[in-house]
A and B are shown apart, each in its own frame.
Chain A
Amino acid sequence: MNAASPLTPSQTVGPFFGYALPYDAGPEIVPAWRPDAIRVRGRVLDGAGEPVPDALVEIWQPDETGEVHRRPGGLVRDGNDFAGFGRCGTDPDGGYWFSTVKPGATGDAAPYIAVLVFARGLLKPVFTRLYFPEDDAAHAGDPLLGVVPAERRATLVAEREGERRYRFDIHLQGERETVFLGF
Protein backbone atom coordinates (compact mmCIF):
# COMPACT_ATOMS: atom_id res chain seq x y z
CA MET A 1 0.00 0.00 0.00
CA ASN A 2 1.32 3.38 -0.97
CA ALA A 3 0.91 5.61 2.07
CA ALA A 4 1.54 8.79 0.09
CA SER A 5 -1.51 8.34 -2.11
CA PRO A 6 -4.14 5.94 -0.87
CA LEU A 7 -6.75 7.24 -3.33
CA THR A 8 -8.68 4.92 -5.58
CA PRO A 9 -8.09 5.94 -9.20
CA SER A 10 -10.91 7.05 -11.46
CA GLN A 11 -11.97 5.10 -14.57
CA THR A 12 -14.34 6.03 -17.35
CA VAL A 13 -18.08 5.55 -16.87
CA GLY A 14 -17.95 3.75 -20.26
CA PRO A 15 -20.80 3.55 -22.77
CA PHE A 16 -23.13 1.16 -20.95
CA PHE A 17 -24.27 2.99 -17.80
CA GLY A 18 -27.54 4.04 -19.42
CA TYR A 19 -29.65 1.22 -17.98
CA ALA A 20 -28.13 1.56 -14.50
CA LEU A 21 -27.42 5.15 -13.43
CA PRO A 22 -30.14 7.39 -14.91
CA TYR A 23 -33.53 7.16 -13.19
CA ASP A 24 -36.91 8.58 -14.10
CA ALA A 25 -37.02 11.34 -11.52
CA GLY A 26 -33.35 12.23 -12.06
CA PRO A 27 -33.76 15.45 -14.08
CA GLU A 28 -36.83 16.68 -12.19
CA ILE A 29 -35.47 18.18 -8.97
CA VAL A 30 -38.74 20.06 -8.66
CA PRO A 31 -41.86 19.34 -10.74
CA ALA A 32 -41.96 21.43 -13.90
CA TRP A 33 -45.46 22.71 -13.01
CA ARG A 34 -44.25 24.55 -9.94
CA PRO A 35 -44.46 28.29 -10.55
CA ASP A 36 -40.91 28.82 -9.29
CA ALA A 37 -39.46 26.02 -11.45
CA ILE A 38 -36.78 26.87 -13.97
CA ARG A 39 -35.80 24.74 -16.93
CA VAL A 40 -32.16 24.24 -17.84
CA ARG A 41 -31.21 22.40 -20.98
CA GLY A 42 -28.15 22.03 -23.13
CA ARG A 43 -25.92 19.69 -25.05
CA VAL A 44 -22.62 18.01 -24.32
CA LEU A 45 -20.30 18.37 -27.32
CA ASP A 46 -16.86 17.02 -28.20
CA GLY A 47 -13.85 18.76 -29.73
CA ALA A 48 -15.27 18.36 -33.24
CA GLY A 49 -18.59 19.91 -32.16
CA GLU A 50 -20.28 16.51 -32.37
CA PRO A 51 -22.84 15.51 -29.73
CA VAL A 52 -21.76 13.24 -26.89
CA PRO A 53 -24.71 10.85 -26.61
CA ASP A 54 -23.20 8.82 -23.79
CA ALA A 55 -22.55 11.43 -21.14
CA LEU A 56 -24.05 11.60 -17.66
CA VAL A 57 -24.70 15.08 -16.29
CA GLU A 58 -25.18 15.59 -12.55
CA ILE A 59 -26.05 18.81 -10.75
CA TRP A 60 -25.96 19.80 -7.09
CA GLN A 61 -27.27 23.07 -5.71
CA PRO A 62 -28.82 24.92 -2.78
CA ASP A 63 -32.46 26.01 -2.75
CA GLU A 64 -33.77 29.52 -3.62
CA THR A 65 -32.53 30.88 -0.32
CA GLY A 66 -28.99 29.51 -0.68
CA GLU A 67 -29.54 26.72 1.82
CA VAL A 68 -27.94 23.37 1.02
CA HIS A 69 -30.37 20.58 1.91
CA ARG A 70 -28.67 17.54 3.33
CA ARG A 71 -31.56 15.14 3.47
CA PRO A 72 -32.74 12.20 1.36
CA GLY A 73 -35.08 12.62 -1.57
CA GLY A 74 -32.76 12.80 -4.58
CA LEU A 75 -33.69 9.34 -5.89
CA VAL A 76 -37.39 9.16 -5.00
CA ARG A 77 -38.96 12.62 -5.26
CA ASP A 78 -42.08 13.38 -3.30
CA GLY A 79 -42.84 16.61 -5.16
CA ASN A 80 -42.50 18.86 -2.12
CA ASP A 81 -39.11 18.31 -0.58
CA PHE A 82 -36.10 19.76 -2.30
CA ALA A 83 -33.01 17.52 -2.36
CA GLY A 84 -30.81 19.60 -4.66
CA PHE A 85 -29.38 16.68 -6.64
CA GLY A 86 -30.20 15.85 -10.24
CA ARG A 87 -28.94 13.39 -12.83
CA CYS A 88 -29.62 13.14 -16.55
CA GLY A 89 -28.07 10.92 -19.22
CA THR A 90 -27.62 12.64 -22.59
CA ASP A 91 -29.86 11.74 -25.53
CA PRO A 92 -28.63 10.83 -29.05
CA ASP A 93 -28.23 14.56 -29.75
CA GLY A 94 -26.05 15.07 -26.66
CA GLY A 95 -28.99 16.80 -24.96
CA TYR A 96 -29.78 16.93 -21.25
CA TRP A 97 -32.34 18.86 -19.18
CA PHE A 98 -33.25 19.68 -15.59
CA SER A 99 -36.27 21.15 -13.91
CA THR A 100 -35.15 22.87 -10.73
CA VAL A 101 -35.26 26.18 -8.90
CA LYS A 102 -32.81 29.00 -9.26
CA PRO A 103 -30.32 28.64 -6.41
CA GLY A 104 -29.73 31.43 -3.96
CA ALA A 105 -26.22 32.76 -3.49
CA THR A 106 -23.89 31.18 -0.92
CA GLY A 107 -21.01 33.09 0.62
CA ASP A 108 -19.23 35.43 -1.79
CA ALA A 109 -20.21 33.50 -4.90
CA ALA A 110 -22.82 34.62 -7.39
CA PRO A 111 -25.66 32.05 -7.62
CA TYR A 112 -24.55 28.93 -9.47
CA ILE A 113 -25.34 25.26 -9.97
CA ALA A 114 -22.46 22.78 -9.56
CA VAL A 115 -22.23 20.59 -12.67
CA LEU A 116 -20.39 17.32 -13.09
CA VAL A 117 -20.05 15.43 -16.38
CA PHE A 118 -19.04 11.79 -16.88
CA ALA A 119 -18.75 10.21 -20.32
CA ARG A 120 -17.24 7.43 -22.32
CA GLY A 121 -13.81 8.81 -23.22
CA LEU A 122 -13.54 10.81 -20.00
CA LEU A 123 -11.19 8.88 -17.72
CA LYS A 124 -12.22 11.21 -14.89
CA PRO A 125 -15.15 13.61 -14.64
CA VAL A 126 -15.16 17.32 -15.42
CA PHE A 127 -16.49 19.81 -12.88
CA THR A 128 -17.94 23.13 -13.86
CA ARG A 129 -20.48 25.73 -12.69
CA LEU A 130 -23.56 27.13 -14.34
CA TYR A 131 -24.07 30.84 -13.60
CA PHE A 132 -27.11 32.90 -14.59
CA PRO A 133 -26.98 35.77 -17.12
CA GLU A 134 -29.18 38.14 -15.08
CA ASP A 135 -26.62 38.15 -12.25
CA ASP A 136 -23.85 39.82 -14.23
CA ALA A 137 -23.45 42.52 -11.62
CA ALA A 138 -22.50 39.86 -9.05
CA HIS A 139 -20.18 38.04 -11.47
CA ALA A 140 -17.38 40.62 -11.23
CA GLY A 141 -16.80 39.78 -7.57
CA ASP A 142 -17.27 36.02 -7.87
CA PRO A 143 -14.26 34.00 -6.59
CA LEU A 144 -14.29 31.77 -9.68
CA LEU A 145 -15.36 34.15 -12.45
CA GLY A 146 -12.81 36.63 -11.15
CA VAL A 147 -9.91 34.28 -11.97
CA VAL A 148 -11.24 33.05 -15.32
CA PRO A 149 -9.76 34.82 -18.36
CA ALA A 150 -12.38 37.27 -19.64
CA GLU A 151 -12.65 35.60 -23.05
CA ARG A 152 -13.58 32.26 -21.48
CA ARG A 153 -15.99 33.57 -18.84
CA ALA A 154 -19.04 33.26 -21.08
CA THR A 155 -18.65 29.45 -21.15
CA LEU A 156 -19.81 29.43 -17.51
CA VAL A 157 -22.89 31.59 -17.97
CA ALA A 158 -26.12 30.05 -19.23
CA GLU A 159 -28.07 31.77 -22.00
CA ARG A 160 -31.56 32.95 -21.29
CA GLU A 161 -34.00 31.22 -23.64
CA GLY A 162 -37.24 32.61 -22.30
CA GLU A 163 -39.16 33.12 -19.09
CA ARG A 164 -37.44 30.87 -16.50
CA ARG A 165 -35.66 28.93 -19.26
CA TYR A 166 -31.91 28.64 -19.71
CA ARG A 167 -29.52 26.96 -22.08
CA PHE A 168 -26.07 25.72 -21.04
CA ASP A 169 -23.95 23.80 -23.57
CA ILE A 170 -20.89 21.99 -22.32
CA HIS A 171 -17.96 21.85 -24.75
CA LEU A 172 -15.49 19.21 -23.58
CA GLN A 173 -12.85 20.49 -25.97
CA GLY A 174 -12.29 22.93 -28.85
CA GLU A 175 -12.44 26.66 -29.39
CA ARG A 176 -15.36 27.11 -27.02
CA GLU A 177 -14.11 24.63 -24.43
CA THR A 178 -16.04 25.11 -21.19
CA VAL A 179 -14.00 26.22 -18.19
CA PHE A 180 -13.49 23.17 -15.99
CA LEU A 181 -12.48 23.36 -12.36
CA GLY A 182 -9.27 22.00 -10.90
CA PHE A 183 -10.71 19.89 -8.13
Chain B
Amino acid sequence: MTHPPYLYPPYKSTVLRAPAQEPVMPKLGPDSVELTAPVFGHQELGRRDHDLTVQHSGEPLGERIIVTGRLLDSAGRPVRDALVEVWQANAAGRYAHLGDIHPAPLDPNFTGAGRCLTDDDGRYRFVTIKPGAYPWGNHHNAWRPAHIHFSVFGTAFTQRLVTQMYFPGDPLFAFDPIFQSIPEQRDREKLISRFDMDTTVPEWALGYQWDIVLGDTPVEAQ
Protein backbone atom coordinates (compact mmCIF):
# COMPACT_ATOMS: atom_id res chain seq x y z
CA MET B 1 0.00 0.00 0.00
CA THR B 2 1.54 3.28 -1.13
CA HIS B 3 -0.67 5.54 0.92
CA PRO B 4 -0.91 5.91 4.69
CA PRO B 5 -3.79 4.18 6.48
CA TYR B 6 -6.63 6.38 7.72
CA LEU B 7 -5.91 5.38 11.32
CA TYR B 8 -2.36 6.05 12.45
CA PRO B 9 -2.52 6.71 16.23
CA PRO B 10 0.95 8.33 16.51
CA TYR B 11 -0.69 11.16 14.49
CA LYS B 12 -3.30 11.92 17.12
CA SER B 13 -5.83 13.72 14.94
CA THR B 14 -6.46 10.51 13.00
CA VAL B 15 -8.01 8.80 16.02
CA LEU B 16 -11.42 10.48 15.85
CA ARG B 17 -11.37 11.27 12.15
CA ALA B 18 -10.35 8.00 10.50
CA PRO B 19 -13.33 6.15 9.04
CA ALA B 20 -13.69 2.78 10.79
CA GLN B 21 -15.90 1.01 8.23
CA GLU B 22 -14.57 -0.68 5.13
CA PRO B 23 -14.90 1.51 2.04
CA VAL B 24 -17.57 0.39 -0.43
CA MET B 25 -16.94 -0.09 -4.15
CA PRO B 26 -19.82 0.60 -6.57
CA LYS B 27 -20.72 -2.48 -8.60
CA LEU B 28 -19.16 -1.07 -11.75
CA GLY B 29 -16.33 0.88 -10.09
CA PRO B 30 -16.06 4.66 -10.47
CA ASP B 31 -18.69 6.07 -12.81
CA SER B 32 -18.38 8.45 -15.74
CA VAL B 33 -18.56 11.51 -13.47
CA GLU B 34 -15.85 10.25 -11.13
CA LEU B 35 -13.65 9.28 -14.06
CA THR B 36 -13.56 12.85 -15.31
CA ALA B 37 -12.18 15.90 -13.57
CA PRO B 38 -12.57 19.66 -13.73
CA VAL B 39 -10.55 21.53 -16.32
CA PHE B 40 -8.85 24.80 -15.43
CA GLY B 41 -7.60 27.52 -17.75
CA HIS B 42 -4.70 29.96 -17.83
CA GLN B 43 -7.12 32.87 -17.83
CA GLU B 44 -8.25 31.80 -14.34
CA LEU B 45 -4.77 32.16 -12.84
CA GLY B 46 -2.86 35.31 -11.99
CA ARG B 47 0.39 36.15 -13.74
CA ARG B 48 2.35 35.95 -10.47
CA ASP B 49 0.62 32.93 -9.01
CA HIS B 50 3.58 30.62 -9.66
CA ASP B 51 6.18 32.96 -8.14
CA LEU B 52 5.72 33.25 -4.39
CA THR B 53 8.58 35.75 -4.13
CA VAL B 54 6.94 38.53 -6.15
CA GLN B 55 3.47 38.69 -4.65
CA HIS B 56 4.25 41.67 -2.39
CA SER B 57 6.06 44.97 -2.64
CA GLY B 58 9.34 43.57 -1.30
CA GLU B 59 11.21 40.29 -1.45
CA PRO B 60 10.58 37.67 1.22
CA LEU B 61 13.38 36.70 3.59
CA GLY B 62 14.92 33.27 3.24
CA GLU B 63 16.68 31.02 0.81
CA ARG B 64 15.24 31.50 -2.69
CA ILE B 65 14.50 28.18 -4.39
CA ILE B 66 12.99 26.81 -7.59
CA VAL B 67 10.77 23.76 -7.22
CA THR B 68 9.88 21.96 -10.42
CA GLY B 69 8.96 18.52 -11.65
CA ARG B 70 6.54 16.58 -13.79
CA LEU B 71 3.01 15.40 -13.11
CA LEU B 72 2.67 11.89 -14.54
CA ASP B 73 0.06 9.18 -14.66
CA SER B 74 0.91 5.70 -13.43
CA ALA B 75 2.06 4.73 -16.94
CA GLY B 76 4.55 7.61 -16.95
CA ARG B 77 2.61 9.81 -19.36
CA PRO B 78 2.54 13.57 -18.71
CA VAL B 79 -0.66 15.01 -17.24
CA ARG B 80 -1.10 18.30 -19.11
CA ASP B 81 -2.91 21.51 -18.14
CA ALA B 82 -3.43 20.19 -14.62
CA LEU B 83 -3.93 22.57 -11.72
CA VAL B 84 -1.14 22.40 -9.13
CA GLU B 85 -1.62 24.39 -5.92
CA VAL B 86 0.99 24.87 -3.20
CA TRP B 87 1.10 26.43 0.24
CA GLN B 88 3.84 26.59 2.82
CA ALA B 89 5.30 28.22 5.93
CA ASN B 90 7.73 31.11 5.56
CA ALA B 91 11.48 30.78 6.13
CA ALA B 92 10.95 31.04 9.89
CA GLY B 93 8.40 28.22 9.95
CA ARG B 94 5.28 30.36 10.29
CA TYR B 95 2.15 30.18 8.11
CA ALA B 96 0.24 33.29 7.09
CA HIS B 97 -2.79 31.64 8.68
CA LEU B 98 -4.65 33.10 11.66
CA GLY B 99 -4.63 29.72 13.38
CA ASP B 100 -0.85 29.42 13.39
CA ILE B 101 0.36 30.43 16.87
CA HIS B 102 4.02 29.43 16.48
CA PRO B 103 5.97 32.39 17.93
CA ALA B 104 8.11 32.87 14.83
CA PRO B 105 7.95 36.07 12.80
CA LEU B 106 5.50 36.59 9.96
CA ASP B 107 7.05 37.97 6.79
CA PRO B 108 5.05 40.87 5.31
CA ASN B 109 6.48 39.97 1.91
CA PHE B 110 5.45 36.33 1.95
CA THR B 111 2.01 34.75 1.86
CA GLY B 112 3.14 31.30 0.85
CA ALA B 113 0.37 30.29 -1.56
CA GLY B 114 0.81 29.61 -5.27
CA ARG B 115 -0.66 27.80 -8.23
CA CYS B 116 0.14 26.93 -11.81
CA LEU B 117 -0.95 24.69 -14.68
CA THR B 118 1.31 21.94 -15.97
CA ASP B 119 2.72 22.42 -19.48
CA ASP B 120 2.67 20.01 -22.42
CA ASP B 121 5.38 17.97 -20.76
CA GLY B 122 3.37 17.73 -17.54
CA ARG B 123 5.82 20.12 -15.90
CA TYR B 124 5.06 22.55 -13.10
CA ARG B 125 7.47 25.17 -11.77
CA PHE B 126 7.38 27.43 -8.72
CA VAL B 127 9.78 30.06 -7.42
CA THR B 128 9.58 30.38 -3.65
CA ILE B 129 11.71 30.42 -0.51
CA LYS B 130 12.69 27.37 1.49
CA PRO B 131 10.13 26.87 4.27
CA GLY B 132 11.27 26.47 7.88
CA ALA B 133 10.51 23.56 10.18
CA TYR B 134 7.81 24.28 12.74
CA PRO B 135 6.52 22.82 16.01
CA TRP B 136 3.07 21.31 16.38
CA GLY B 137 1.15 20.05 19.36
CA ASN B 138 0.96 16.38 18.46
CA HIS B 139 3.37 15.20 21.17
CA HIS B 140 6.22 16.52 23.31
CA ASN B 141 8.78 18.36 21.19
CA ALA B 142 6.99 17.60 17.93
CA TRP B 143 8.44 19.35 14.86
CA ARG B 144 7.43 19.01 11.25
CA PRO B 145 10.25 18.56 8.74
CA ALA B 146 10.35 21.45 6.25
CA HIS B 147 7.72 20.82 3.57
CA ILE B 148 5.60 22.36 0.86
CA HIS B 149 1.96 21.27 0.65
CA PHE B 150 0.85 20.25 -2.86
CA SER B 151 -2.67 19.79 -4.23
CA VAL B 152 -3.03 18.37 -7.74
CA PHE B 153 -5.84 17.40 -10.10
CA GLY B 154 -5.55 14.57 -12.59
CA THR B 155 -7.86 13.67 -15.43
CA ALA B 156 -10.21 11.76 -13.09
CA PHE B 157 -11.73 13.07 -9.88
CA THR B 158 -10.61 9.79 -8.27
CA GLN B 159 -6.98 10.83 -8.91
CA ARG B 160 -7.25 13.92 -6.75
CA LEU B 161 -4.10 14.09 -4.63
CA VAL B 162 -3.04 16.28 -1.73
CA THR B 163 0.41 15.60 -0.35
CA GLN B 164 3.59 17.22 0.97
CA MET B 165 7.02 17.62 -0.60
CA TYR B 166 10.05 17.38 1.66
CA PHE B 167 13.72 18.36 1.30
CA PRO B 168 16.66 15.94 1.18
CA GLY B 169 18.51 15.11 4.37
CA ASP B 170 16.03 16.54 6.85
CA PRO B 171 16.94 15.34 10.37
CA LEU B 172 13.26 15.39 11.41
CA PHE B 173 12.02 12.59 9.12
CA ALA B 174 12.57 9.88 11.74
CA PHE B 175 10.51 11.79 14.32
CA ASP B 176 7.57 12.90 12.18
CA PRO B 177 4.43 10.75 12.43
CA ILE B 178 2.92 12.28 9.28
CA PHE B 179 5.92 11.28 7.18
CA GLN B 180 6.19 7.95 9.03
CA SER B 181 2.50 7.17 8.46
CA ILE B 182 3.47 5.96 4.98
CA PRO B 183 4.08 2.25 5.58
CA GLU B 184 7.10 1.66 3.32
CA GLN B 185 10.36 3.59 3.46
CA ARG B 186 10.69 3.44 -0.35
CA ASP B 187 7.30 5.18 -0.64
CA ARG B 188 8.24 7.84 1.93
CA GLU B 189 11.27 8.64 -0.19
CA LYS B 190 9.00 9.50 -3.11
CA LEU B 191 8.01 12.64 -1.19
CA ILE B 192 11.59 13.86 -0.88
CA SER B 193 12.69 16.28 -3.57
CA ARG B 194 16.13 16.05 -5.16
CA PHE B 195 18.59 18.92 -5.16
CA ASP B 196 19.48 19.56 -8.80
CA MET B 197 22.41 21.63 -10.01
CA ASP B 198 20.87 21.88 -13.49
CA THR B 199 17.74 23.48 -12.06
CA THR B 200 19.83 25.77 -9.87
CA VAL B 201 20.21 29.23 -11.40
CA PRO B 202 23.67 30.83 -10.87
CA GLU B 203 23.69 33.85 -8.55
CA TRP B 204 19.95 33.45 -8.03
CA ALA B 205 18.32 30.31 -6.56
CA LEU B 206 18.86 26.65 -5.63
CA GLY B 207 16.86 24.14 -7.64
CA TYR B 208 14.87 21.12 -6.50
CA GLN B 209 13.22 18.49 -8.70
CA TRP B 210 10.20 16.48 -7.62
CA ASP B 211 7.92 14.39 -9.84
CA ILE B 212 4.36 13.49 -8.86
CA VAL B 213 2.80 10.24 -10.05
CA LEU B 214 -0.98 9.89 -9.92
CA GLY B 215 -2.71 6.56 -9.55
CA ASP B 216 -6.26 5.70 -10.33
CA THR B 217 -6.89 7.24 -6.95
CA PRO B 218 -5.18 8.03 -3.65
CA VAL B 219 -7.24 5.25 -2.10
CA GLU B 220 -6.19 2.53 -4.51
CA ALA B 221 -6.61 -1.16 -3.78
CA GLN B 222 -3.92 -2.66 -1.59
CB distance from A93 to the nearest CB of B (A): 15
- How many chain A residues touch B (CB < 8 A): the figure is 73
Q: Please report the C-alpha to C-alpha distance between residue A182 and residue B86 in the assembled complex, in whole angstroms.
A: 27
| Interface presence of B38 (CB below 8 A) | yes
- Which A residues lie within 8 Å of B26 (CB)? 143-144, 147, 181
B31 touching A76, Cβ below 8 Å: no
A60 touching B214, Cβ below 8 Å: no
| Interface presence of A16 (CB below 8 A) | yes
Q: How many of chain B's residues touch chain A, expressed as a range?
A: 35 or more
Q: Please report the C-alpha to C-alpha distance between residue A107 and residue B26 in the assembled complex, in whole angstroms.
A: 13
Which of A32-40, A118-126, A131-139, A160-168 faces chain B? Answer: A118-126
Q: Which one of B8, B28, B85, B89 lies within 8 Å of A21 (CB-CB)?
A: B85
- Which A residues lie within 8 Å of B217 (CB)? 127, 183
| Interface presence of A91 (CB below 8 A) | no
Interface of A is mostly: loop
B binding-site residues for A, Cβ under 8 Å: 2-6, 8, 11, 13-34, 36-41, 43-45, 72, 74, 76, 83, 85-87, 89, 95-100, 111-113, 149, 151, 157-158, 160-164, 178-179, 181-182, 186-188, 190-191, 211-221
A binding-site residues for B, Cβ under 8 Å: 2, 5-21, 46-48, 50, 52, 54, 58, 60-62, 68, 70-76, 83-85, 103, 106-109, 112, 114, 116, 118-127, 143-144, 146-148, 152, 172-174, 177-183
Query: Can you spell out 12 A-B residue pairs with CB atoms less than 8 angstroms apart?
Result: A7-B190, A19-B111, A47-B15, A60-B33, A70-B38, A76-B44, A108-B28, A121-B17, A123-B14, A125-B160, A172-B19, A174-B20
